[in-house]
Structure 1
Amino acid sequence: MALRSLLADTRPLRNPHFRRLWSANIITVIGAQMTLVAVPAQLYSMTGSSAYVGLSGVFGLVPLLIFGLWGGALADAFDRRKLLIGTVIGIIVTSGLFFVWTAMGNTNVWIVLLTFSAQQAFFAANQPARIAILPELLPNNQLPAANALNMTVVSAGGIAGPLVGGALIPVLGFQWLYFADVFFLLPTLLAVIGLPSLEPEGVEKGKVVGWRSIVEGLVYLAGHKILLASFLVDLVAMIFGLPRALFPQIAHESFGSEMDGGLAFGILYAAIPFGAALGGVFSGWVSRIQRQGLAVILAIVAWGLSMTGFGIAVYFATGAPDQWLWIGAFFLVLGGAADMASAAFRQTMLLTAASDNVRARLQGVFFVVVSGGPRIADIAHGAAAVYVGTAVATGGGGILVVLLMLLCALLVPAFTRYRVEVTPD
């Protein structure tokens, strides 16, 4: 019974709509992660520079900022089912364009970056609606479990995608990974088509969605100190503690991987998602935690310490790359498990605190934070590595996360004290 209580809470899967979305996402996320690996690998292969890989953060960040917020406003004004269908089709089309450009022998970096930017715009508009529908499908006491289940699928796809993509890039080339992504997106399209109409509550018919709608959501958010703090701590964790843009260079220079992919490359990209998936499998405890604010602080401190350990492994890898690769991967796995816990609690705080007619707009802000932070991290780490090297950029960032998190806990004690009542099913 003790082991059973640790395993993932699967009650949300009893809901047929959530179950279909969750099951379809298993396949879709694998393809998405293969593309996520292929784009930086292709950029590094074309240029040999981590700075260009970091530049993809700029091209991803701008559409995330704009369309994450606008997508949230749209999802608070129109049928969320229709919005999900349209954005999934847009993601499919941009994946198809990646295939076409690569099959035609494109060597222009800017075409790759612009296509990536368009795909991120559709993805950003999709996510607020995708998360905002959860309270319409499930009771509140199942939301922590649903968030953990969703993260487990995303993380599991993040394991298979990088491993398969990293291994197949030298064999099949980039174009066939993009081609596979198109087909892997189809199950999710069918799942969202099968949803019922999901009109948000209390919405005026014919309402025009513009900047005023976005500002209304931001004003609502400004009055909630706890939610603002949850965004701040995540930005600290991601901007200073996520060395993703350095993985191609680290895999090649420290762990002996090929210039355009290989096993070490795939392991680095898969390690954090593997840790998150492992944390998701043993996430039964998340539904029983009352002091969620303190849990977030501790989880992010653990994330920072893990990235520090990874930086140490990179530093010592020159003499024994194979041995230190697995040590470094171990620290990344620990970081992934910590990140899963932090995200599950922060997402639950937001879903339960907001009313339905503003929930998607707050999810848009949440998405901008959790997706924009890593893009800023790509830029920051790519630039820092040029001056201090990959090991110092990685390990030093982890130390900064720990120090800044302790500072946040001192400056916003209300967040650390935040708790929720845990009710039985």
Structure 2
Amino acid sequence: MASFNQYELKSGQKRWEFRAYAGTDTGNGKQRKVHRRGFKTKRAAQDAARLIEAEIVKSSRVTNNNDNAPLGEYLLYWIDNLKVNVKSGTIVKHRHNIMYYINPRIGEYKLKDYSFNVHQKFINSLFTEEGAGRSKNGFAWNTVLSINETLSNSLEKAVRLGYIKTNPTHRVEFDRRFKPEVRKTRYFTKAQTDIFLEVAKKEHLILWYPFFLLMFDCGLRLGEDLALRWSRIDFKNKILTIDINRSYNSETHVNEDGVKDMFIDTPKTTKSIRKIPLTDRAYTALKSLYNDTHQSDVIPIHPVDTNKIRLDDFVFIKPNGKFSGYPLAHTTVQVAMRRICIRGNLPWLNVHGCRHTYGVRLRESGVSIDDIQDLMGHTDAETTKIYAEITPKIKEDAVKKLNDLLDESSRNIN
């Protein structure tokens, strides 16, 4: 049974908190309690306490009667207690798969009864489920792969814990009739990029030009661009340091100002931590933005500490309006991207396409695949190989080199 208490903030406002009994620690024999606070009403605290107590009961059922526990309860226990040492974005993805795709369809199966045959039928049904997915005729290939990945990860842990003997997801097959054709990488040509950037310069907010320019000229990911700080820009040597990332898909908590709290994390892989040379125009754009938004010409240098990041250190913050002083939201970027494409009479390109454009420009400039991999922060060389595809520009340059060689040979003969 939970206990409730009202307390007072420094501002004089009243809030409620609760403590719920969560069993006894088998290691030391002491009681375990869950403490939550910050509720505006006692009713809100009571509702939250009931949910916590229900989860405690479910977790107890899983750990004490593991093979008879429903698959859905085990999955929730796994994501809350067993899936550790992974990035927040991975947790968000798995939790979404569990809540929206898996538990509503197969969550009532007993863990011990979820066999390979059951799993194969489940996977097959996802491709053809009526009313599901964007097509309303079944879920997309990548969605089904993602759902299977969640089940495979969670049930592999169940095997290790001794809850089940084998992982029923092993050797599952995916009907290749539903596998989409490989889509060509979408990017802007140099002329299209120039038009886009010229239109961006005319935007009401002056920050849109340098924001997108860093994607086109430095290959920043959206989360890296949103998390960029002045203290990580070396203006003297024209170098960007990328060492943190905004996990915007994990930003769900709305604070008292009505803004979603930022979720700052280290990049997913060590390869993503990198130093990127600034192009001349990117350097000029950032220096101009700094001069327009700061009184001092001195760029502050703050220590790297993801737990104590200052808002005024972020490069791209909203200069006015209700949320003035806060960094940009990723949805705001997507809206701006579409708006600039429309105003420039350009084909629609998603935000990540700016980074693809950077990769293509590097390749057209003769940069090796290995160097492109390092500049873009790819861990897997296979990811970078999409830029090995021959573009019209590369074809033209190749033919020009061949013509030059043939002309030189002809002159030597004569």
TM-score class normalised by the smaller sequence = under 0.3
Instruction: Report which structure shows greater RCO (CA 8 Å, sep ≥6).
Output: 1
Structure 1 or 2: more helix by fraction: 1
TM-score by length of 1: 0.24
Q: Name which one, 1 or 2, has greater alpha-carbon Rg.
A: 2
TM-score by length of 2: 0.24
